Amino acid sequence: MSWLRRLFSKSRQLVGTDLSGNQYFEITAGTDKRIKRIVETGGRECDYVPGSIPVEWEAWLRGKRVEPPTVEELIEREQRAQLLAKRVIALEEKEAQMLQKPEEELPTSSRARYVGHASAPMYDKADSEDQASTGKDFQPASWKPK
């Protein structure tokens, strides 16, 4: 009878946890069914914030990854995110300093002077000597190269 119970019962196996305390499980229901992957968050379900599950675990849950991520991978990704945040702050500070400088201190390439709009062609407007008339008595003037 125990083999029958095992055949129809669901076995839930803990696969791993992330740095936030979420637990990830694989559930096998019978022998011929597909493995189901779930997550149990550390807090209550109503406190769930979208994006709180790490990208590596999200890929494992959706079946894009065969092996679950390791703690080392998660720590490495966190360190990369912190480094990126530091670089963003440094770049924003540098940009703020550039905006506070007077125009004379800026390089010449940043002080470009614009004449008109780039997509608007600028032609010298030369009035033609022969004014074209419209109507029935219109005769085109001869062409004169310059």
The pLDDT score that the predictor gives to residue 9 is 57
- Choice between 40 and 113, residue whose per-residue pLDDT is larger: 40
Give the mean model confidence (pLDDT) for residues 128-139.
67
The pLDDT score that the predictor gives to residue 41 is 84
- Choice between 133 and 44, residue whose per-residue pLDDT is larger: 44
For residue 25, list its beta bridge partners: 14, 38
Read off the tokens for 99. Answer: 């905006």
The pLDDT score that the predictor gives to residue 128 is 59
- Choice between 4 and 137, residue whose per-residue pLDDT is larger: 137
Mean of pLDDT over the chain: 79
Q: What is the pTM of this model?
A: 0.56
DSSP symbols for the chain:
-HHHHHHHSEEEEEEEE-TTS-EEEEEEESSSSPPEEEEE-SS-GGG--TT-S-HHHHHHHTTS-SSPPPHHHHHHHHHHHHHHHHHHHHHHHHHHHHHHS-GGGS-GGGS----S-TTS--------SSPP--STT--PPPP---
- Choice between 91 and 99, residue whose per-residue pLDDT is larger: 91
The pLDDT score that the predictor gives to residue 118 is 65
Q: For residue range 10-21, what is the model confidence (pLDDT) as tens digits? A: 678 899 999 888
Report the b/e string of 80-117 with b at 16+ CB within 10 A: eeeeeeeeeeeeeeeeeeeeeeeeeeeeeeeeeeeeee
Pairwise CA distance, residues 46 & 53, whole Å: 15
Q: For residue range 39-97, what is the model confidence (pLDDT) as tens digits? A: 888 777 767 777 788 999 999 999 898 999 999 999 999 999 999 999 999 999 999 98
